[in-house]
Amino acid sequence: MKSTFKLTTVAILVAASLSACTGDNTTKNDVTPASVTSQALTAQDAEKFLADTAKEMVQLNLEGSRAAWINSNFITEDTSALAAAADQKSTEAGVRFAMAAAKFDNVNVSEDQRRKLNILKQSLVMPAPQDSAKSAELANIGAELNSMYGKGTYTTKAGETLSLGKMTAKMATSRDYDELLEMWKGWRTISPDMKPLYIRQAELGNEGAQGLGYPDLGAMWRSNYDMPADEFAKELDRLWGQVKPLYDDLHCYVRSELGETYGEDKVPQDQPIPAHLLGNMWAQSWGNIYDLVAPENADPGYDVTQQLAANNYDEIKMVKGAEGFFTSLGFDALPETFWQRSLFTKPADRDVVCHASAWDLDAKDDIRIKMCIQKTGEEFSVIHHELGHNFYQRAYKNQPVYYQNSANDGFHEAIGDTIALSVTPKYLKEIGLIDSIPDESKDIGLLMKMALEKIAFIPFGLMVDQWRWKVYSGEVTPENYNTAWWELREKYQGVSAPVDRDVNAFDPGAKYHVPGGVPYSRYFLAHIQQFEFHRALCEISGNTDPIHRCSIYNNKDAGAALNTMLEMGSSKPWQEAYKVLTGSEQMDATAIIDYFAPLHTWLKEKNQGKQCGF
């Protein structure tokens, strides 16, 4: 499960849809009025600007976090209005900060000052042009696209009107080819009307990025990784090349099993897999079809959900158990306010946002989670993931506000997932949830479940931004939006549209992050980084088990190494933070190959004699 989290940094506060943006290009402080040229500015001006801006950011972050928390936990028209007002205020400030920071581009400043100025510039996900009418237009487009997605429904042939949630539930559980096809096609009827708005949003976003000194919006996004934009794109392809052999064998096996289920006339064995048969509306993860592809005799002999009940775990005990994982590594226990202010169960008397999330309200010790916890094994793992965010947030609390963030935007998700990778049978036995560890013959089923979620996702996590970068650069023009989308999906995922798509369709818009303007490379990075972090921590802990069986529970050496990296926040290039834990400044996806090695061997055996590739 992906989590969202509240970061006390302007990068998140201004990542919204730029609602009611003024386009004002002067700062609240008198440091850089519009009439001052960059040649007239000095490092002393930069220092004053950064100090004054930091004070404003701290206040904005606190106000915004409190308003958002109240709105998520007490959903009313009034709390929504208060949250929107706080968001508007921080958004307008973010535009001011970015425009003012850009005026120091040619000023000779210190390395630390330059890093802070760049953080301010790059915090705008969808930068507005320096024109009040255009910035207002961009804000309205963002709001309209979000509304179109959020209100999207489809009325079936039988006359039933379905929300996205109900359609995704059917996609997860139905094994009826025609019903799956209807759900897949039905959801994509909501996006063609988005296309004209998206075209204009791309134009305005490019203009805003160019006003900050970038060639286009895609280049601006890629510049946020402490390396040249073009090198970052090449790095992602290099990492994908390391994972691709494993993905190809998983794809081959899954396609063969789906061919047996639906017939090879519907799932040709020399073609990409039809996108509607993989258990997910976007074919981005395949865990929901585990029952169709599960290895024989894969049952590990225990059910964590049943074991939680047998050991009298309620919602609080589940969270206490996850906290115990972190304290066993040497981290301080959660503050008392965490237990007083978090939301653990859905209230009976009001609506709340139940999506699991981790929050840091004051950049000090007011950390919380918000979940409507279900007493299941999956939720037990999710709690470990969410607390990973919280302990990361607390670790960098002593950094300046500019650096109260993860080393790059993939790190936060990666840390949460790294912790969840230690929720192994060995760990479950150590905390008394199971009596014995299954032998290694049962590992294939557990690894298959994880591969269907994580390995299947990796090429999707790569291609979403590959498509957008081509759109923003002009390589892909509006008349080719949909064609280019499916070309990339076939190239990277080996997944195809189940029916011919009209050239004027806008299937990218059926994925929230596209109309929502949310960069997606962070999720690709997180899937790579979590396995390398896990391998490094296992090595530090002295683990002698196969990496997929390793848990760092109760190992203070691993905890100390992890904390050293977390405390850095974003104060240094992510490569330096990476080296603290892994010993290298370069990401290495071979950790994934190591983790899934037994499954990969098994897949190769199962695929003998089959026609693989797409």
Q: Is 523 a catalytic residue?
A: yes
The widest CA-to-CA distance across the chain, in whole angstroms, is 73
The conformational region for residue 213 under phi > 0 = left, psi -120 to 50 = alpha, else beta, is left
Q: Is 389 a catalytic residue?
A: yes
As a whole number of angstroms, the distance between CA 354 and CA 370 comes to 7
Q: Of these residues, 56, 182, 323, 386, which one is catalytic? A: 386
Written as six digits, the tokens of 120 are 């301010």
Q: Is 56 a catalytic residue?
A: no
Q: Of these residues, 384, 385, 412, 548, which one is catalytic? A: 385
Q: Is 386 a catalytic residue?
A: yes
Q: Which residue has the tokens 């299954």?
A: 438
As a whole number of angstroms, the distance between CA 612 and CA 547 comes to 28
Q: Of these residues, 309, 355, 440, 475, which one is catalytic? A: 355
Q: Of these residues, 16, 128, 356, 414, which one is catalytic? A: 356
Written as six digits, the tokens of 135 are 């910035």
**The length of the chain, given as a count of residues:** 614
Q: Of these residues, 251, 276, 389, 534, which one is catalytic? A: 389
DSSP symbol at 522: H
Do 32 and 109 form a contact (C-beta atoms < 8 A)?
no
Q: Is 247 a catalytic residue?
A: no
Q: Of these residues, 257, 298, 430, 513, which one is catalytic? A: 513
Q: Of these residues, 523, 553, 578, 595, which one is catalytic? A: 523
3-state secondary structure of 162: strand
Strands 357-360 and 367-370 come out as: antiparallel
CA distances from residue 257 to 230, 272, 381, 603 in whole angstroms, order as listed:
39, 14, 29, 12
Do 507 and 191 form a contact (C-beta atoms < 8 A)?
yes
As a whole number of angstroms, the distance between CA 367 and CA 339 comes to 10
Do 538 and 547 form a contact (C-beta atoms < 8 A)?
yes
> What's phi and psi for 408, nearest 5 deg?
-140, 175
Q: Is 384 a catalytic residue?
A: no
- How is the beta sheet containing 357-360 ordered, strand by strand? 4-6, 357-360, 367-370
Q: Is 385 a catalytic residue?
A: yes
How many C-beta neighbours within 10 Å does residue 65 have? 24
Q: First and final CA of the chain: distance in angstroms?
A: 29
3-state secondary structure of 24: coil
* Cβ neighbours of residue 139 closer than 8 Å, sequence gap 6 or more: 17, 18, 19, 20, 21, 128
Q: Cα torsion for 284, 168, 174, 156, to the nearest 10°?
A: -130
As a whole number of angstroms, the distance between CA 267 and CA 257 comes to 10
State the burial class of residue 420 (Cβ atoms within 10 Å of its Cβ: 0-12, 13-18, 19+).
Answer: buried
Q: Of these residues, 214, 413, 427, 505, which one is catalytic? A: 413
Angle at the Cα of 379 (from 373 to 382), degrees rounded to 5?
A: 110
> What's phi and psi for 496, nearest 5 deg?
-125, 160
3-state secondary structure of 271: coil
Residues identified as active-site: 355-356, 385-386, 389, 413, 513, 523
